[in-house]
Structure 1
Amino acid sequence: MTPTRRTLLAAAPLLAAPAALRAQGTWPDRPVRWVNPGPAGGAGDVLSRLVGDRVSARIGQPVVVENRPGAGTNIGMTAVARAAPDGYTLGLASIASHAANKWLYANMPFDAQRDFAAIGLIALVPNIVVVPPSIPPRDLQGFIAWAKGLGRPLNFGSVGIGSSQHLAAAQFGQITGIEIIHAPYNQAGQMNTDLIEGRLDVLFQSISAVSGMAQAGRMRPIAVSGPERVPAFPELPTMREQGVDVTTTGWFGLATPAGVPEPILARLDEALAAALAEPELQARIVAGGSLPRVMRRAEFAQWMASESERVGAIVRATGARVD
């Protein structure tokens, strides 16, 4: 056999291997896309940019955040699920995409467990309940009494169907018996403006999206929608403390399309965990109203499955559906 023939035969398995496998040794050699399936300015957008920047430093390539909101995160996460499994597309998994949507949508474009590989949890995201400053209530029970005397349903907004904001408000309506009408938004800024100007009656909003306006008196915080008080508003009691047992808390984590090679998944796992261990990043996440949490791949995958069952019970209790 000639040397040329032996060289061609030795190269054949490599040429036939999938592109993702051939790229393992050089990954990453170009920028990595990070898809945020929520609106610009929301908690997911803030976390994507903070954490993406630190992951970029760990892997040695730019991490470019791309906002693809819509359909309760389904548009953005469908793009992730259908991307090449080569490690160059990441997606921001959330309580909507990986826990709520399978119970809300009759026809899902992806399977949250089958079509993704879990990388790790990033943060828990409590919401605060805010109302327009033009209405009288100063606490949750006062707001409930005010709402029951309105003679019409309450109007509230959220960043999308299946978001923690939507689920918390639906649970609030179910517990209190108050009729409440949902308006999903693609832009957190417009939603906040509509509250301030009185077109919405209440928001169960991410702290990062409203803390400045709440502290400036442009909207009034009346409760924390989560199991515990938050550092950004330490004097603000939870809904549970005020007699309404709504403890829905949002969360965000990192995922890739299913089929990404194991060495790349391991590098992403290490990069994310190392980034979240940085005190400076932790402080910035807390300052933005979220609570950083490190949860590695296997544990995060199991935790998302358990979250889906927990959230499914809430959806069934509220009767919420999209189609």
Structure 2
Amino acid sequence: MAILASLALAAGPAAPAAAEEWPGRPLRLVVPFAPGGASDLLARLLAERLAGPLGQPVIVENRPGAGATIGANAVAKAPADGLTLLYGTPGPQIINPSLMPGLPYDPERDFAPIVSLVTAPNLLVVHPALPVHSVAELIALAKAQPGRLTFGSSGIGASSHLAGEMLKQMAGIEITHVPFRGSGPAIQELLAGRISMLIDTLLLYAEHRATGAVRALAVSTPAKSSLMPDLPTIAETLPGFDAAAFNYLAAPAGTPPAVVARLNGSVNAILVDPAFRRRLGELGLEPIGGTPEATAATIRAEAARWRGVIVAAGIKVE
């Protein structure tokens, strides 16, 4: 993924209004999930910060349902004037195209990527009764007891599910997937010892790790996370392992380049602000930033990578 960088983007002609006259009206930031989740929280923090440099309020609109496709479709079909934006998560353009047949939008052609926002490292945790203290020991135990270990997820096709499938495929092990309706129930089952492990958002387990209720083995990012620097990465045992949620900002395809450039510059300025970065750290998030082109490249690369995992595991969502 692109690292945070200061940008000097050339602004092309915008229609119907010049970029300096835009936006002229309040903006709408569509979050394709219900209020209260991590994506909704970050979207609201970002919207609050964007209002100043844009000179207009940025109103968060929650459009949940169908694995984020309802909200994404609303943005895809909106006027390409830069006033309707998508808070993008892996679902709409990265995972859903491989999981769901007949999407109501084209995941590549219907959106204009603006900027990469954050990555959310996942944490591999096990119940403390499981006699393993490293990824290598976990793999060895799974190979010795094929099919007996279980991993939970927040649902079929969720990032926690796909991370577990990636672990299975790269380690050559057989562990049983147990889906739940959300991360909360999955965590409770792990705490009760009814499942063996989870790979889910790092922040969800910080308190449980501190109390010893779970044992953290490794982070899912290619490099160590600044949020838990004492932990190794899964990739140290399984080279190439990378499972972290990628969030970004997008607009409808055809949005004027100068408007995209202005939004990109405004968000990048927010992402380098020390206070904002501290708040991200409290939420278990790491800032990215960069150019629209880098964001588009990341979306394409992530879609291809997860497509391979989904196809190999035979996952489908009807």
Where on the TM-score scale, by shorter chain, does this alignment land: which range?
A: 0.7 to 0.9
Counterpart in the other structure of 2:136: 141
CA gap of 1:217–1:74, structure 2 versus 1, over 3 A, is farther
Alpha-carbon distance, 1:151 to partner: 5.5
Give the TM-score of the pair, scaled to structure 2: 0.81
Counterpart in the other structure of 1:178: 174
Which shifted more, 188-197 or 228-237? 188-197
Counterpart in the other structure of 2:51: 56
CA gap of 1:306–1:71, structure 2 versus 1, over 3 A, is same
Question: Aligned with 1:269: secondary structure?
Answer: helix
Q: Distance in 2 between matches of 1:84 and 1:47?
A: 24
Question: Aligned with 1:203: secondary structure?
Answer: strand
2:123 is the alignment partner of 1:154:
no
Q: Which runs of 5+ in 2 are unaligned?
A: 1-14
Alpha-carbon distance, 1:143 to partner: 3.2
Q: Which runs of 5+ in 1 are unaligned?
A: 1-19
Q: Is the 8 A contact 1:33 1:65 kept in 2?
A: yes
Q: Distance in 1 between matches of 2:46 and 2:67?
A: 22
Q: Distance in 2 between matches of 1:59 and 1:216?
A: 44
Note the alpha carbon deviations across 1:143-177, whole angstroms, 9 max, x for none. 3455553864624113662x442321111122332
Following TM superposition, the consecutive aligned residue runs of length 4 or more in structure 1 with deviations greater than 6 angstroms are none
2:164 is the alignment partner of 1:169:
yes
Partner AA of 2:166 in structure 1: Q
Partner AA of 2:173 in structure 1: G
Alpha-carbon distance, 1:181 to partner: 1.8
Which shifted more, 285-294 or 256-265? 256-265
2:87 is the alignment partner of 1:92:
yes
Q: Structure 2 residue aligned with 1:231, among 223, 226, 233?
A: 226
Note the alpha carbon deviations across 1:39-94, whole angstroms, 9 max, x for none. 65554334323333322332233333344444333233223223343333221223
Alpha-carbon distance, 1:118 to partner: 0.9
Partner AA of 2:99 in structure 1: L
Q: Is the 8 A contact 1:225 1:238 kept in 2?
A: yes
Give the TM-score of the pair, scaled to structure 1: 0.80
Query: How many aligned positions are there?
Result: 301
Partner AA of 2:47 in structure 1: G
Counterpart in the other structure of 2:253: 258
Q: Distance in 2 between matches of 1:153 and 1:70?
A: 32
Counting only pairs closer than 5 Å after superposition, residues 295-310 of structure 1 correspond to structure 2 as 295-310=290-305
CA gap of 1:83–1:212, structure 2 versus 1, over 3 A, is farther
Counterpart in the other structure of 1:7: none
Q: Is the 8 A contact 1:36 1:44 kept in 2?
A: yes
Q: Distance in 1 between matches of 2:206 and 2:260?
A: 35
Q: Distance in 1 between matches of 2:62 and 2:205?
A: 20
Q: Distance in 1 between matches of 2:41 and 2:148?
A: 35
Question: Aligned with 1:210: secondary structure?
Answer: helix
Q: Distance in 1 between matches of 2:192 and 2:289?
A: 39
Q: Is the 8 A contact 1:208 1:288 kept in 2?
A: yes
Question: Aligned with 1:308: secondary structure?
Answer: helix
Alpha-carbon distance, 1:26 to partner: 5.2
Q: Structure 1 residue aligned with 2:74, among 65, 74, 79?
A: 79
Q: Distance in 2 between matches of 1:279 and 1:124?
A: 17
Q: Is the 8 A contact 1:42 1:208 kept in 2?
A: no
Which shifted more, 40-49 or 127-136? 40-49
Note the alpha carbon deviations across 1:228-254, whole angstroms, 9 max, x for none. 111121111111223575222321110
Counterpart in the other structure of 1:214: 209
Which shifted more, 274-283 or 190-199? 190-199
Alpha-carbon distance, 1:127 to partner: 0.7
